[in-house]
């Protein structure tokens, strides 16, 4: 992928992630705060807790993807963008088109995900 295009896409993705995180945070994501002071059915407390957990998970996923984008920008600045951080092989254009923040080839990524 052309370095200028890669930078544009990565910076755009970073801005999108920042906007999403800001929106969720502004809406009180993960706080479990109630919209009303009226008593709720006990099952509502469970639903609220589940919603808060889901919101926290979404914020964590956004944070993780943002970290990957920042790391990709660092690799771009260092001249190693598009090279697998594990095996040193070139990442296919299709992979970078789908995931511009990708750090590993599919084989190495599968190995990392399999070891979790």
Does residue 31 sit within a domain?
Answer: no
Query: For residues 51-69, b (16+ Cβ closer than 10 Å) or e, as one string?
Result: ebeebeeebeebeebbebb
Please tell me whether the overall predicted TM-score, pTM, comes out greater than 0.85 for this model: no
Does residue 109 sit within a domain?
Answer: yes
CATH number at residue 53: 1.20.120.910
Does residue 33 sit within a domain?
Answer: no
Does residue 50 sit within a domain?
Answer: yes
pLDDT tens per residue across span 26-65:
887 655 555 554 556 666 666 666 777 888 999 999 999 9
pLDDT tens per residue across span 77-100:
999 999 999 999 999 999 999 999
Residue 67 pLDDT grade (very low, low, confident, very high; cuts 50, 70, 90): very high
Does residue 99 sit within a domain?
Answer: yes
Q: How many CA atoms are closer than 13 Å to the CA of 2, on its beta-carbon side?
A: 4
Does residue 83 sit within a domain?
Answer: yes
Residue 1 pLDDT grade (very low, low, confident, very high; cuts 50, 70, 90): confident
Does residue 70 sit within a domain?
Answer: yes
CA distances from 68 to 26, 30, 32, 45, 52 (A): 23, 23, 28, 35, 24
- The per-residue pLDDT for 105 is 96
**Containing structural domain, residue 52:** 3-26+45-114
CA distances from 2 to 6, 43, 49, 99, 107 (A): 6, 53, 45, 14, 23
- How many domains are there within the chain? 1
Does residue 21 sit within a domain?
Answer: yes
């Amino acid at each position: 992928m052309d370095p200028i295009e890669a930078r544009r896409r990565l910076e755009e993705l970073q801005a999108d992630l920042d906007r999403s995180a800001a929106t969720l945070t502004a809406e009180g994501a993960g706080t479990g705060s109630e919209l009303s002071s009226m008593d709720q059915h006990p099952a509502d407390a469970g639903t609220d807790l589940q919603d808060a957990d889901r919101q926290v998970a979404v914020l964590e996923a956004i944070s993780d993807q943002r970290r990957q984008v920042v790391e990709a920008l660092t690799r771009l600045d260092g001249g190693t963008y598009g090279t697998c951080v594990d095996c040193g092989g070139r990442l296919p254009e299709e992979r970078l088109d789908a995931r511009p923040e990708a750090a590993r080839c599919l084989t190495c990524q599968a190995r990392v995900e399999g070891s979790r």
